[in-house]
Each structure stands twice: as structure tokens, then as C-alpha cells.
Amino acid sequence: MTEVRDYSNLIGGELRPAADGRTLDSVNPATGEVWATIPRSGAADAAAAVEAARAAFPKWSGMPAAGRAHYLRKVAEVFAKNAKELAELETIDNGRLITETAKRDLPGMTYLWTNAAAECAAAVEGRSVDFGPGSQGLTRREPYGVVLGIIPWNSPISTLSAKAAFALAAGNTVIIKPAEQATVSSLRVGELLREVLPPGVLNIVSGLGEEVADPMVRSRGVNKVSLTGSVGTAQIITRASAESLKPLALELGGKSPNIVFADADLDRAAPGVTTQAIFTANAGQICYGGSRILIQRPVYDEMIYRMKEIAAGVRLGDTLSPDTTMGPIVSAEQYERVTSYLEIGAKEGAELVFGGRFGAELVDEAHAGGYWVEPTLFATSDNSLRVCQEEIFGPVAVVLPFDTEEEAVALANDSVYGLAAGVWTRDLGTAQRMFRRLDTGTVWVNTYRKVMFPLEGTKDSGYGNDSVLAYTREKAGLFEF
């Protein structure tokens, strides 16, 4: 049993417990053990965070862009210096493999914060329009004020950074509300950044969404809310923010199609579809997971054979070991949800291609208390099934055959979601047509899950993104002399 450590909120440059002293337990999903406690903050903490962020806003937004860039470069250094510790904390906190957090996430954070520092200048660039002698139009980019970032549990440090870095670069002050299932790494980031950023510029407040985020969503002291989370939460936030007509950015879920054409290089497509897009990457708990696999009939059997082989080699267990290739489901609640889809798929008549087992039998004794589901694939030709339409958010995917490009487009777009899509083909014409015709925010061709631009969805996958311009608005002025 590991020692249980207590973590605190960061509000106005101070590390504070919840005002009423309440806490929540944080569970290591690989073992089921409580390993930390976090503040269960409420309305008083929400009010304190808003007040601190408001108080810090005039100085932070009034600073020259180069001044803000200087601070953000110092933040990048903190991430570089503490990468190992933060990667381990994130892995223990949410079950994301150390190979993901140490090799992909944390190095990415140094790049992201450095990039945000470089973007500070772009955030203050306006336009000039000449209306003739003595009449000139100008625009000026301004920060919103206080930005509230509400983040999910599946990749906390990356999501916190994407919101905070660009909102801060644009001159806003920020409050982050991490997800209650995986908060520790965010609170540790707060401890580290307290030494670097001026008080109140970045605040991190943990607890349940309805208890601490809701009052901030309603507060007139908060000027923009950016949520990465589920559609249900987005609907609640949209209603809660209506009173103050707050601008929102909603980065939500997906049921992304990953489409393999018969001419694809199967040596790339099979691992790309199987490991990167769904199963091993965060055990399928990624918003843009390509969990709806469409395969053109001539290569259908060959792809299934290859996917089966890859899934058979997946190793579950110690998330801190580089030999483990798939982690656990994040929480008991999410485990119930994911495993319920195994039953739903079977009841709906989908064929179980492989997988379907879950629980302690998949791992050694030390991990028997964790939340384990093996890579599972259902097959069907009916895209209306729940396993084809609903986001499962676990290592459970579905495969559908198709004959023509037309059919692939129709199947791919037959979804309430529109976050991302993958296309595997050797034909540039096919790739370009699919890029135009897929109703999703991102299309990856012969690759998947490489994020170059801010993610932005269509349909129920939401709207808005985390970029420096998205955290500014443009004020217009007309000058006549």
C-alpha cells in the first residue's frame, strides 16, 4: 500500500484545501487503491478562484506580449525539468501508460508551451483598413478576461496545457477545473507553476463538476468557458451559461470512422487502425479514437486476421512498465459502462470477432483490483446498432465492410459525431475526395492521432478550439481626423 498524499488547489498563488475542508479520494485504476486525496471544492472556492483571476487580469493583460512570452517560456522549462515526475503521476492517476506519458505527452508539453510563447505576438496583431483620406479603420485583438477551462480525465496535463497556454498567451487569466477521476497531475502542475507565474494568473480548483464548476460557469466574473468533455456535460453547461450569454468552446466526443481501402498498405493500416487508433492508445479512452472501422471487402478478411494477431500480442498490467502495451479503464464507473457494451453488442446481434473478457483474470495478482478490459472487436453490417453509434470510450471497437467509395462516405457520415476520421489508401485522388467529403473536423490519411492543428469537431462533437486566436475577440475602431 502506497502512502496517501494530500493535494491542494492553487488559488491566487496559494495552495489551499477546500474552504470547508472536504476531500475526495483519488484511485489508481491499475490497482484499485486510494493513493491520494484532492480537495472537494465548492461554491466558496469557486468564488475565490474567480476573484483571484479577476484581480490578476489587468496586470497580465496589460503586459507587453513579450512579457507574457517570457513567463510562458519559463513554464515550458518547468515541464521539461519535471517531465519524469509528471509523467509518472499522470500514469498512476489515470492509467495512461508510462510509454504514452513519458515519451509522447510530457515532451509535447515543452513544445506546446514554447509554441504558445511564440504565439503571444500573434494574439495582439490587429488589422488596418484604409477608408480614404482622413478615415482609417483599425482592429485590435483583446483577451476575453477570465477563462474557465473544464477538462476530462483521459489526458489531464495535455488538456490543461492546451487550454491554459493559449488562453494565457492571449492575455486572459485562467481557472482550470480538472476531472475528479484524475486530478493529481493537474494539482502538481499547480504546485510547480506557483513558483513561476504571478499570483492569480493560473488557478486550479478540483472537485465535482456540479459543485465547483457549475457556479463558475454561471458567474459573471467568468468571460469564456472551454470544456473538453462529454455531450451530456456540454448540454448542461450550455444551459447554465445561458443567463450570462457566455461564449463557449465545446470539444466533445466521437465515434470516428477509420476507413481502409483495398489498395492500402496493410503493413501500415493494420497497426495504425488497431493500436494507434483504438486499443492500446489509452485503452481506447481517447476522444478521437477510430473506433468505427470500415474495411473495403477485398481486404476485409486479411485486415481482420492481422488485427486479431496484433490484439493477441497486447500486454495488460503494470502501467509504469515499458513492456505493458495497454492500461486499465479509468474508474469503476467507466468500467461498468464499457463492460455493459459487451452485453449490448452481443444482444444486438453483432458478431464477436475477438476479445470480450474483462476483470482480474487478465492480469497478475498485484493488479487484480484494477479495471481491465481486453481489446474487443465486434463485426456487423448494420451501422444503426448502438455499438456503431454510441461512444464507448474503452477498448471496444466495431468493424463494418463496404464495397464502394460512395458507401464508405455514407457510412462514415452516418453518425451524430464528427470529430475525426482516418483514411488508408495509396491513391491520392481517393484521399483528396475523402478529405473533402468526410463531415469531420480532422481527417488523417495513412496515419492517425497526430495532432498538428487544434482539434475542432462538427455536429455533436462540438465547436471551438484551443488556439491563441480562439481566446481573443476582435474589436473594431474607425478613426477620422
Instruction: Please give the residue ranges that form the binding site for ligand NAD (CB under 6 A).
Output: 150-154, 177, 179-180, 209-210, 213-214, 217, 228-230, 233, 236-237, 251-254, 287, 391, 393, 419, 455
Q: Which is nearer to ligand NAD, 296 or 415 (CB)?
A: 415
Beta pairing, strands 257-260 & 292-296 = parallel
**Residue ranges of E strands in 243-313:** 248-251, 257-260, 292-296
Q: Which is nearer to ligand NAD, 124 or 468 (CB)?
A: 468
DSSP H helical ranges for 82-139: 83-94, 98-100, 106-119
Least CB distance from residue 207 to ligand NAD, whole Å? 8
Least CB distance from residue 167 to ligand NAD, whole Å? 15
Least CB distance from residue 154 to ligand NAD, whole Å? 5
Sheet order of strands, 420-424 included: 351-354, 376-379, 396-402, 292-296, 257-260, 420-424, 442-445
Distance in angstroms (rounded) separating the CA atoms of residues 346 and 354? 12
**Residue ranges of E strands in 117-229:** 128-130, 135-143, 146-150, 173-177, 202-204, 224-228
Cα within 13 Å of Cα(158), Cβ side = 22
Burial 208-224 (b: 16+ CB within 10 A, else e): ebebbbbbbbbbebbbb
Distance from chain centroid for Cα 3: 29
273 touches 293 (CB < 8 A): yes
Q: In terms of Cα–Cα distance, which of 17, 16, 10 is closest to 175?
A: 10
Least CB distance from residue 238 to ligand NAD, whole Å? 10
The verdict on whether 251 is a catalytic residue reads yes
Q: Which is nearer to ligand NAD, 234 or 423 (CB)?
A: 234
Q: Which is nearer to ligand NAD, 253 or 327 (CB)?
A: 253
Instruction: Indicate the residue whose CB is closest to ligand NAD.
Output: 209
Choice among 251, 374, 391, 405 that is catalytic: 251
Q: Which is nearer to ligand NAD, 65 or 179 (CB)?
A: 179
83 touches 222 (CB < 8 A): no
Least CB distance from residue 132 to ligand NAD, whole Å? 45
287 touches 277 (CB < 8 A): no
Least CB distance from residue 293 to ligand NAD, whole Å? 18
Q: Which is nearer to ligand NAD, 214 or 405 (CB)?
A: 214
**What residues are annotated to the active site?**
251
